[in-house]
Amino acid sequence: MNITSASICAAADELKGFVGFNTKTGQHLVRFSEDSFGLDVLESSITPACEFVWVQVEGDLMSLNRDCLQLLLDQNIDDRLNLTPALHVYMRRRDLAEIHAERRVQKKTCSGDCQNGTCKNGHGAHENAERLPTTTLL
């Protein structure tokens, strides 16, 4: 299998779950629903895992942070988090610099086809649209 920086970035964007910081224990927790965090986790600290592993360097420039990825690897639930072989290779190759990429947010409409006015959820065009990141390697 040929693993490239682009495939590693794509794998990072496909991570599942949420990470929140527990103020009482001083540790990050991984959950699979935003609602499953306790009162000791501030709502502002809850981040999708696919965003948690990216650390802003400057502007849209971000780094795929190995420390954040290691926190996910330490959970030993690769399948649930969707930790793929590409991310494992990235973690093993400590001789290579961290990946830096430009990340932008793009619009994604509801799965109910809001754009065509046939949304099953009753949304109008682009109403309640979700914003998803895109990653471009530098």
Q: What's the whole-number mean pLDDT along residues 102-116?
A: 53
Over 50: is that where the pLDDT of 101 sits? yes
For residue 119, how many other CB atoms are within 10 A of its CB? 18
pTM more than 0.85: no
**For 39-96, how does the pLDDT look when each residue is reduced to its tens digit (9 = 90+)?**
899 999 999 999 999 999 998 899 999 999 999 999 999 999 999 999 999 999 989 8
Distinct helix (H) and strand (E) counts, the chain: 5, 7
Q: What's the whole-number mean pLDDT along residues 88-111?
A: 78
CB neighbour list of residue 71: distance below 8 Å, 6 or more residues apart: 19, 28, 30
pLDDT at 60: 86
pLDDT at 123: 43
pLDDT at 59: 87
Structural domains for the chain = 5-104 (3.90.1650.10)
